[in-house]
Structure 1
């Protein structure tokens, strides 16, 4: 049995784990943790045309937002079938909060 999904996923089951693994390789350099554990990934949808990933930042003033988005796209490109367009969308709703962090991230932060 698999653990609870770290973010909403709608798409082919065979892509769920590779996509989650790819996003887990993207690190927020400000806190040295991957974006999945930080809770920055709001959802992934895969259809016949594209893989659409919605991510947020911990703050609208995040100086590394573009870097994180570029790295997410690069990691996704390694696992998404070539015929699919990759779209990484930066969203602000709902606002990020520490409650979105994984248990591992909370322990790392000492919470």
Structure 2
């Protein structure tokens, strides 16, 4: 018998918390709040599948960020039987994916609202 929906949701919440401790070394905002996590799935057996992107294709630190995400989940989410982080490029990342927490962190860091500026520049 597999995990219940409630158990899977609890694992998913722990995965989110683990990912909030993983940072893109070039941007001091965690990968979750930066909007790099496109999907988190926990199956009935406790396998965790993450769909993740990066801010730009060809990122030289891609392997490091993926390994950090896998490591953080394995360390902090003991219920996860297996962890898979899949790098995806579609749809391309834009600042619109940044969470409200990430947006505030970027405002403090940059001194302006990156999302607002991106919208102006692309309108």
Whether TM exceeds 0.5 here: the answer is yes
User: After the TM superposition, which residues 84-95 of structure 1 pair with which residues of structure 2 at under 5 Å, given as runs?
Assistant: 84-95=81-92
User: Aligned equivalents of 2:67 and 2:21: distance in 1?
Assistant: 12
- Alpha-carbon offset, residue 50 of structure 1: 1.5
Q: Is the 8 A contact 1:19 1:80 kept in 2?
A: no
User: After the TM superposition, which residues 71-86 of structure 1 pair with which residues of structure 2 at under 5 Å, given as runs?
Assistant: 71-78=68-75, 79-81=77-79, 84-86=81-83
Length-normalised TM-score, structure 1: 0.82
Tell me the residue number matched to 1:69.
66
Length-normalised TM-score, structure 2: 0.75
Q: Give runs of ≥4 in structure 1 deviating > 6 Å.
A: none
Pair member with larger Rg: 2
Q: Which runs of 5 or more residues in structure 1 are unaligned?
A: 1-10
Tell me the residue number matched to 1:42.
38
Kindly report the root-mean-square deviation, in angstroms, between the aligned alpha carbons of the 2 structures: 1.6
More helix as a share of residues: 2
- Alpha-carbon offset, residue 108 of structure 1: 3.0
